[in-house]
Each structure stands twice: as structure tokens, then as C-alpha cells.
Amino acid sequence: MAEEDYGCFVDWTQMGDMAKSSGPSKLDIKDPVELKKLARQGHWAKNHKLRAQVYQQLIKDIPCRTVTPDAEVYRDLMGGDTGKKSSTAIPLPDFVDGSPVPPYCLKADAVTSVHRVISCLAGQFPDISHCPALPAMTALLLHYSANEAQCFEHISRLLACNEPGRRLIDQTFLAYESSCLTFGDLANKYCPAAHKLIVTTAQDVVEVYSGWQRWVLGDLPFSHVTRVLDVFLVEGYKVLYRIALALLKFYRKQKAGAQPLEGQKQDSAEVKAEIQAFVKAIGSSVTPDKLLEKAFSIRLFSRKEITLLQLTNEKSLQQKGITVKQKRRNVQLALNPDTFSSEVVSAKEMRDIWSWIPERFALCEPQLLFTTSTHGCSLNRFYAHVEGNEPTLLLLRTCDSEVCGAFLSTDWEERKRGGNKLSFFGTGECFVFRLKPEMERYEWVVIRHPELASSIKAQNVEDEAPSDGQNLPVERSSADLTNRLSPFLSARHFHLNSRNTSMFMAGNVDSIIVGGGDGNALYIDGELNHGRTSRCTTFDNPPLCSNESFQVALLEVWGFQDAMASDR
């Protein structure tokens, strides 16, 4: 058949309808927008030879470092050794972390070719230390290659991509682990129902999410993963997040009605295996078109914002000394019910709150910084005990036994930048919540309504603040804040059409405030005795208590202690 040039490694008997070529036979479009549209539509999906040619052109166009190994390098190195060794005689390098070579409709002896290509890549890219996705990506591209040397060149270009801000294949444990934390953050924000299911059923959420890349590159059926690769080569790494989030949503739908008993949790390995089995069998219930439709219906932030989150997670891992593969600590161990003690929340309620916080703090354990029962009702003592800690968790119980609070991303010491004026600071990772009478979290309104980030940059206006804190100025963006604030969800990276949508936290000698714009989510007076709550624009929350004016029975502030550091 005509496609044989790009199908010498293919077992056509396994291809089913994909063995029948139809549709267009060539593609001359260069416009990126049109190319993205065609990739999502599967324009070249029904013609094996055209898909191979499109892949070749897309990979050829990837900007790479000057010295990138090509097909000639592979031929020089491997010479006439082709086919002389079995795959068992050419073991995969340790950096693939035990990831097997997916069959992907390849001939049996093509697995040996994958091993050979990866073995050669290991020699040419000595800086690779952790790359579990490499076997799957190599097998996919070998399927559409004319020979091993061509496949080697294609993978080399993916690995050697040097376009600023473009990420294709994770090659270090730090990059891979940060991607797992980032996926957890995205699942928390964009798949709350599915994330809640994982939190409810699995002992270790971080461990479950550590397999997210494997779902896409390894477990997905060939007919589905090729459609993903079509879009990935055009749009990049963000596509993998989208597909994995869509798979999580479909998994949750399939599990609906089969919730475990309260308090009953499965071993994390069992949950991972369940998700893998679901993804492998997804072809019986979800078509490739339906999968992509679900993936691209999720309104993620821009690639820039995702990159900032990845960098933030990498920085957090580096600070914890996690740069090489090591045994992952169970996230539940950070909240030991035998030692955890709070006068506001139970250990179970604290675990629920812990499931909402950014993933990079999953290895931290709660550390009580301030409590009115010990330190008294003094705002000065409040600041003295909480300053120097970032982030913090504020919990309060009212005299009506209602419980609410806030996760605050930024050190309270930042309030001093406003001088004597009450100015807002913080990032969009802040959120407010209530636990009693019912549990509910309210995130930054821009997360739920991205359309509020308009194309018109908001003016940074600092007016004098009214005494009640109802309409405070937002702190000006400043370059010297880059290393002091979490870059992810920092308002200065958005074009906001109203400053009211980025009023996260504020404080002075008279009060502390969380959330602003047409009211405050929380306002607590200088004696830490009386408070108010109302709807605010920043979090679009209802009042967090049944009475908008309340008396504080107890207030606690918790910090995040590195559990791994405390073990060293």
C-alpha cells in the first residue's frame, strides 16, 4: 500500500478502520490558527501517510539548539547493528522509571527498535535524568517513521527544543514532579467534583496524580492518543493537561453513584490502577472526538499562567531539596490525627481544607502560629506571631459556633508596604471558605470567570482608604515583588477590567480584611473580637456566617511547616 513508506513498523492487522486511508492526501496550510483548527478537527487523522508527513513537518519546524543529533548521527552510531539484538538485550535506561513501551499497533520486533532508539538517545542526551514519557512518545513517532534514524531525529528535536516558554517533554525529576503538582492544582480548580472524589477515596492524592502523564502517554488507546499527538505537536504541553483533566472528569462520571462509605479510603495504588484500567478501556464509551471536545471545553488559563505555576512548583520543590527521585511521603501523614490539635476544627476538617491548598504545600504539616486562647485578643500580637510566614491559614469560630476562614498566599508583613494606608496585597491563590453549618470554598472570581480579565489593563490607582475598609486601594505592581510573591495568579499578570476583582488581603493597626470590592468577605477589628462578613467582588462569595456581624469566639492562624525538613 502507498502508506508503506511510513508504515514499515506497523502491524496493519491491529489498525482496524485506521488502516483504511481516506480524506485529504496533502496539506499546504501554514497559518498557525488554521493549523490548530484542523488539528483539533482531526483533518489528517484518516490518512496514515499524510499524518506521518504532517508530523515530520511540524517537528522540523521546532526551534532547537544548534547541535541537535539527526538521522545521520544515528546511522553513524548504530551502523549495521539493526535487528541483531532483541529488546531484552537492550534494556531501557533507568530514567524512564520503569515505563514500558506501549504496543501502539506496532509489529513485535518494532519494540526492539524503540529500545534501540531510546538507548541511542540516552547517549546523546546525558542530561536526561527522568523521562517516563519517552517510551510512549518514541513508540508513537516510530509508528509514523520510515526508519529508526528518522524516529531518532524526531525525538531528538522534541528533546532539544529551545523556544522560550515552550515545554514538550519533561527530562528531569524536578520538571516531572512539578508537573504532577501543577496537575493537582488544575484538577482542584477546574475539576472540583472529580478532585473531591479522589480526595474522598484515595489515601494519598499526590500519589494518584503522579500518574497523570501515563494516562495520556501510555494508557490511552492508539486511536485516541494519535488525535492527542496531532494537537500536541501544534499547541504544546498544555494539551496534555487538558486531556488528563478530561479523563479525570470522565472517570468521575463513570464512578458516580459508587461513592465509598464515609471515612473509607482505598490504597492509592488501587485508585491509580482503577484510573489506568478506565483509561485503557475508554474506547468503549468515549470517542476521540468526544475526548477532545471535553478537553477543550475546559477554560484553562493561558500558557503563560500555567508556566508560572510550573515554575512556582519547581521552586518550592527545590527549596524542599526534592530534585531527584525519592520515596514520596503520604500526604495524609502531614496531618497526624494523634498529634493535631485545634480548638476550631477537627483533624478531618483540617484534612478537607488541606485538599484545597496548592499542591506544592502537600508535603507541609500545619503549625499553629497564633491563637487568641493563648496569645490574647491583640492585633499587634497577631502580626508579631504570623509575620515571616507564607502562606497562612486563618480559622475562626463565632459565638454562634459557625466556622469560616481564609487561605492567604502572602506574608502579612507585606501590609507595611502601604505605609499608614490600608492597601490590598496577595495573589489569586487566596480563597475564603466556611465549614459550618456547611462546607464551601470560594476562590478568586477570575478563576471561575476568566472573562473578567479583559484586554484593557486596569489602572493602578491608590486613593486614601476609608476607615471601614470597604473600598481599599490595590497595591501597585512592582518589579521587586517578583521574588517575594508567588508569581502564579498574581494580579499583575492579568489585564483586569476592575481593581475590585483583585482585593485579596489587607491589614493595619485597626483591622484585618480578606476580600474587597462592594464589601469584605471577612473584616475583623483590632481587638480580634468583632467581625463582619458580606459578599465581595474578589471572591464573589455569600456572607460566610448566617449573621453578617458576629462576635469572634476563637481565632487561629496556622503556618505550613516543611514536614520533610523536620524529619532531617
More confident residue, 23 or 113: 113
pLDDT at 568: 45
pLDDT at 222: 96
pLDDT at 128: 93
Q: What is the pLDDT of residues 315-361, one digit of tens each?
A: 888 877 776 664 434 444 456 677 789 999 988 888 888 888 888 87
pLDDT at 364: 79
Nearest CA to 297 out of 228, 245, 233 is that of 245
Spatial distance between the Cα atoms of 179 and 486, rounded to a whole number of angstroms? 17
Radius of gyration of the chain (CA): 26
Lowest mean pLDDT among 91-105, 312-326, 457-471: 457-471
Q: What is the pLDDT of residues 362-420, one digit of tens each?
A: 667 889 999 999 999 999 999 999 999 999 999 999 999 999 999 999 999 999 887 77
More confident residue, 205 or 557: 557
pLDDT at 278: 96
Secondary structure of 498-530 in HEC code, one letter for each residue: CHHHHCCEEECCCEEEECCCCCCCEEEECCCCE
Percent of the chain with pLDDT over 90: 54
Spatial distance between the Cα atoms of 300 and 304, rounded to a whole number of angstroms? 11
Q: What is the pLDDT of residues 509-531, one digit of tens each?
A: 899 999 998 899 999 999 999 99
Phi-psi region of 16 (alpha: psi -120 to 50; beta: other; left: phi over 0): left
Q: What is the pLDDT of residues 14-39, one digit of tens each?
A: 988 887 777 777 777 778 889 999 99
Is the separation of the CB atoms in 257 and 310 below 8 Å?
no
pLDDT at 398: 96
Query: Per-residue confidence at 86, pLDDT binned at 50, 70, 90?
Result: low
- Across the range 277-300, mean pLDDT stands at 94
pLDDT at 146: 92
Q: What is the pLDDT of residues 124-144, one digit of tens each?
A: 999 899 999 999 999 999 999
CA distances from 549 to 329, 454, 503 (A): 42, 34, 21
Spatial distance between the Cα atoms of 340 and 329, rounded to a whole number of angstroms? 18
pLDDT at 535: 95
Nearest CA to 442 out of 535, 528, 366 is that of 535
DSSP, residue by residue, 400-416: TS-EEEEEE-S-GGGGG
Q: Which three cell numbers stand for residue 247?
A: 479523563
Lowest mean pLDDT among 80-84, 188-192, 207-211: 80-84
pLDDT at 268: 85
The mean pLDDT of the chain is 84
pLDDT at 16: 85
The helix (run of H) or strand (run of E) holding residue 134 is helix 134-143
